[in-house]
Structure 1
Amino acid sequence: MRRHPICLRGNAKGNMRGEPPSTGTERGSVGLVSDRRFGFSTPFAILAVVLGLSAFAGISFAGDVNLAWNASTGAAGYKVHFGTASGAYGTSVDVGTRTTYTVTGLAAGTYYFAVTAYDSSGVQSGFSNEATAAVTGGDTTPPVISAVSSSSVTFSSATVTWTTNEQTNSQVDYGATASYGSSTPLNATLVTAHSQGLSGLAASATYHFRVKSVDAAGNPATSGDFTFTTSATADTTAPVISSVSSSGVSGNAATIRWSTNEAANSQVQYGTSTSYGSTSALDPSLTTSHTQTLSGLAAGTIYHYRVTSKDAATNLVTSSDFTFKTTTPLNADLVVAYSFDEGAGTTAADYSGNSNTGTLFNASWTTGKYGNALWFNGKNGYVTAPCSGLPAMNAPQTIAYWFTASRRATSTQPVVSLADDAQQISIQAGFKDSRIGVWQDPGGWLVAANQPSRTWHYIVYTFDGATHRFYVDGDEKGSSTIRPTAAAPTSLQIGRVRDGSDYLRGTVDELRVYSRALSQTEIQSLMNIAIGSQP
């Protein structure tokens, strides 16, 4: 239905003799019917005409026109006159004392309107200015139905879906023959994607169905005939789960994915043991590709999990047990951290929080990989520091640092020395026998590799309690399972061996010691993070 609002506003005056409508004025303009009074206590003020169009919800093939005018003091009522020719008003309606009126049910075409007032004796004024309105025809094009299909067919139910090219309501006729006989309840919501569920069906039966949609203008559309066949018995076969995996694992979250051979819902049970104890929110959507995100996890923790899925027939399946480990923050178990960014003075601050402040002897400040660094002269330059929190020599640990030198090392040149002074046992990280690695004194190499080129390189040694690994710039260059001697460090020296017989020549920056073995992924992240800015 279309409503055409016509607002009649102005100061025109009417008279008692029924003067004809004024002429020569444009639609929507103000014109006066007379300057004479017709017996009212105040002049009759007829309104000017303003045309417009607005939508009106409903189903109709006709149009409405809204009229409005100013009240006139002394008027007992008003009449609205209209017709399809100018000045020829074949229809009149007494609207009483109202000053607005809606002419309804008009067919398409152009209409002409005028208003008169009458007093208590029934004496009527002349016509007001004439207003016109063009009423257009309604929507007569039916919607187009496409993509009709049936899905989720069981022994007693099915789902029918379809689309329309415009918003319409939804209904399905269905039955054992093309005569149907049953219909779903009408869904009056106007949509373009339609879905209707059929229930209470007979097993092992072929059903005919057709879909119906009606648009907002009342235009109906009906599809052709389609069929589906219900299953013979109730579905008692559970879905089959496959491709269970974890991804996006961080310190406090992980994403679990899996597939099923039929549409089913999604849920994950998880915890720090095979008793699980926690369950993700159930996703009731029926799908074959499943994703669930677990959050609020503890860092550096092994989690057990299993996935569950239930199909439309409520058959439940549960996977076997799987595990993942959340990541550990890079600063976890950090026991020594020297940025060497002071640039002056004789001390190097320990940023690990263990107060292992280093004291400089003949070591020089210079430009580093990040900020400043320490240069060791190969003769008498070194740093000493306490050993608070340092791991035992046979315990898990990581030693990491940036290093560069202007020439190849051909003599023993330690970068880091962890020593048990009482037992005269130490672990040395640095250069020996023209190679680079970590050795125990007394003893030999724990792990070694060829020396890298003479530029900045990130050198890392890890021991997880069983395997030594040596990395250069994030790439593993060597490993071994040699068991180190058990001893607790009582001194930490940088740039010389425990007894002071050998010294380092080169530049060291960003030196860290951990009481755990970092993973290769952590090492590759750490090499790009300066001390003081790491998480």
Structure 2
Amino acid sequence: MHKRDASEEMTIMTTRQCFTSIVASTVILFTTGILVNSSDAKIDPGTTIGIWLFDEGKGEIAKDISKNGNHAKLVGAKWTQGKHGKAVEFDGTNHVEIAASKSTDDYLNGFTYCLWIKPLSAAGKDHVRIIERNWHNPGIYIGPKDFFGSIVSGGALQPAVGQSRGGKPEVGKWTFIALTHDKNLLLLYVDNELVAKTKIGKPDLNNEHDGGSIWLASWKAPGWSFAGVIDEVGIFNTELSADTLKDISAQGFEKHMSAVSIDNRLTTKWGLLKTL
């Protein structure tokens, strides 16, 4: 049997070190070049209630790409071009419905509702529905001059309709809207700018309207409906950071979630690499 001498052992060790260094450099360059722009803002998949890309472009079902399977049903709404791929258009008489489930009720200890909208006409009332669970709990609304977000807490609408409003809607312009809550503060973002902040306690759990389902662009009563386009809706059971919301708005959900997946795989590989 051939025995390795000291020079052969040294050559093997050097080769192994060089290989490890090359792989490590590749991982670092890949991570730096692709993922650093995300400001380390990530979504924990376990906090996702639902994500709807609205890229089907046909049929009456918009799939929830999360593991929860909260698929949405188009009720008279039409497919159109969106901010990222396809989207859904509303004329003020139709809506999209996401049926109530155990996961859609998971908003009491924090939540985020976010989506892209493009109004096709000015709101005719103080506020019309963009997205709403049950009745104002939670909900995001658009008025002629600004936006509004709310929950129901202590049996009352919080904040009152005339308070904590902000942002400026523009007909024909895409706008990214987000409403977050952390059991203490209700924050409303318009195009990544914090436009309203209200101190509000824990929301109530109400299910009296359509079992607590989530509707886009309408409510059960006529005259409060949104006319425009909605794209890429995301709902989470935690308050997403401003940085994460900024990344979502810049990249779209599909690219953002792919970047998170790549980052997670690289983290695993880096851990294995360090054992070489």
Alignment of 1:169-180 (within 5 A): none
Tell me the SS of whatever aligns to 2:245.
Answer: helix
In structure 2, relative to structure 1, the CA distance for the partners of 1:370 and 1:469 (3 Å cut) is same
- Does 2:104 match 1:390? yes
d(CA) in 2 for partners of 1:359, 1:333: 23
CA deviations 1:39-80 (Å, max 9, x no partner) are xxxxxxxxxxxxxxxxxxxxxxxxxxxxxxxxxxxxxxxxxx
Match of 1:480 among 198, 203, 218: 198
- Higher normalized helix content (fraction of residues): 2
1:450 to 145, 160, 167: 167
Task: Find runs of 4+ consecutive structure 1 residues off by over 6 angstroms.
Answer: none
Tell me the SS of whatever aligns to 1:344.
Answer: coil
Deviation at 1:456? 0.6
C-alpha displacement of 1:431:
1.6
> Contact between 1:338 and 1:510, CA under 8 Å: does it hold in 2?
yes
Do the aligned residues in 1 keep the contact of 2:107 with 2:237 (CA within 8 Å)? no
The secondary structure found in structure 2 opposite 1:409 is coil
Alpha-carbon distance in 1 for matches of 2:119, 2:216: 15
Find the counterpart in structure 2 of residue 427 from structure 1.
Answer: 138
CA contact (8 A) 1:392 1:487 kept: no
The offset of 1:328, in angstroms, is 4.5
1:413 paired to 2:148: no
Change (3 A) 1:413 1:485: same
User: Are 1:356 and 2:67 matched, yes or no?
Assistant: no
- 1:458-507 deviation digits (Å, cap 9, x = unpaired): 11111011011111111211101033641155211111124455211110
Calculate the TM-score normalised by the size of structure 2. 0.67
User: Any stretches of 5+ residues in structure 1 without a counterpart?
Assistant: 1-325
- Within-5 A mapping of 1:130-529: 328-329=42-43, 331-378=45-92, 380-388=93-101, 389-392=103-106, 394-411=108-125, 412-419=127-134, 426-432=137-143, 434-440=145-151, 443=157, 444-445=160-161, 447-454=164-171, 455-483=173-201, 485-488=203-206, 490-529=212-251
1:370 positional shift: 0.4
Match for residue 270 of structure 2?
A: none
In 1, the alpha carbon distance for the partners of 2:42 and 2:108 equals 22
Query: Which digits, 9 at most, give the CA deviation of each residue in 1:306-336, with x for residues without a partner?
Result: xxxxxxxxxxxxxxxxxxxx86535441111
Identity, % of aligned positions: 20
- Indicate the SS of the match to 2:243: helix
Please report the TM-score for the alignment, with normalisation by the length of structure 1.
Answer: 0.36
In the alignment of these two chains, the number of paired residues is 205
Larger Rg: 1
- DSSP-derived class of the 1:528 partner: helix
Structure with greater strand share of residues: 1
Deviation at 1:416, TM superposition (A): 0.9
Would the alpha carbon gap of residues 488 and 395 (structure 1) be closer, same or farther in structure 2, given more than 3 Å must change?
farther
CA offsets per residue over residues 237-293 of structure 1, 9 Å max, x none?
Answer: xxxxxxxxxxxxxxxxxxxxxxxxxxxxxxxxxxxxxxxxxxxxxxxxxxxxxxxxx
Contact 2:184–2:202 (8 Å) recurs in 1: no
> Residue 428 of structure 1 aligns to which amino acid in structure 2?
G
> 1:333–1:515: 8 Å Cα contact kept in structure 2?
yes
Q: Which residue of 1 aligns with 2:29?
A: none
Cα pair distance change 1:425/1:521, threshold 3 Å: closer
Name the CA distance, whole Å, in 1 between partners of 2:50 and 2:164: 22
Q: How does 1:9-28 map to 2 (within 5 A)?
A: none
Matched residues in 1 for 2:136 and 2:251: separation?
32
Residue 450 of structure 1, CA deviation: 3.3
Give the unaligned 5+ runs of structure 2.
1-39, 261-276
Is the contact between residue 137 and residue 203 of structure 2 (CA under 8 Å) also seen in structure 1? no
- Residue 523 and residue 447 in structure 1: after superposition, are their counterparts in 2 closer, same or farther (change >3 A)? same
Is the Cα–Cα contact under 8 Å of residues 440 and 484 in structure 1 kept in the other structure? no
Any conservation in 2 of the 1:391–1:397 contact (CA below 8 Å)? no
State the 1:415 CA deviation: 1.1
- CA distance in 2 between partners of 1:418 and 1:452 (Å): 22
Q: Is the 8 A contact 2:167 2:190 kept in 1?
A: no
Q: CA RMSD in A?
A: 2.4
Taking the aligned partners of 2:69 and 2:225, their CA distance within structure 1 comes to 25
Contact kept? 2:145, 2:169, Cα under 8 Å: no
User: Which residue number corresponds to residue 9 of structure 1?
Assistant: none
* One-letter amino acid matched to 2:132: S
- 2:267 maps to none
- d(CA) in 2 for partners of 1:383, 1:450: 25
The DSSP-based 3-state class of the residue aligned with 2:246 is helix
Q: Within 1, Cα distance between the matches of 2:53 and 2:47?
A: 17
Q: 1:410 touches 1:434 (CA, 8 Å); kept in 2?
A: no
Please state how far the C-alpha of 1:439 moved relative to its aligned partner: 2.5
Structure with larger RCO (C-alpha < 8 A, sep 6+): 2
